Copies of this chain bind each other. A is one copy, B any other.
């Protein structure tokens, strides 16, 4: 198989938490706000929650946006940036972030 000819997934979600390292500042809120501005500029759908941000789109667009987020935080003078990510792709159907939460809530409503 020619692995390099394989296209990256057309759709995925990535949930990520970006941490600036070595800033001397315990708060990361400034950097998280900056990340939201990068995502806003990307045109992708994203949602902030208390432990990260979920962004949805094609693999290449999502990863470019998160890479730009690293780069923008570097431009602010942070020399080291670390992200923890969860990334999912599926080929059977499109499922939005809202669908996933609703599915679980329906199960809990019916059975708990």
Contacts and interface: CB of A to CB of B under 8 A. Distances in A.
Interface of A: 1-4, 6-9, 12-13, 15, 17, 19-30, 32-33, 36-38, 40-42, 47-52, 54, 59-60, 63-64, 66-68, 70-72, 74-75, 79-92, 96-98, 100-101, 103-105, 107-108, 111-112
The complex is assembled from copies of this chain, and their number is 4
A97 B6 contact: no
Given A67-B9, A79-B26, A107-B30, A97 B59 contact: no
A88 B81 contact: yes
Contacts of A79: 26, 90-92
26 contacts: A2-B41, A6-B72, A8-B71, A9-B67, A12-B70, A13-B50, A15-B50, A21-B26, A22-B23, A26-B80, A26-B92, A29-B100, A33-B108, A36-B104, A37-B108, A48-B101, A48-B104, A49-B49, A49-B54, A51-B52, A51-B88, A70-B89, A79-B92, A83-B86, A83-B87, A85-B87
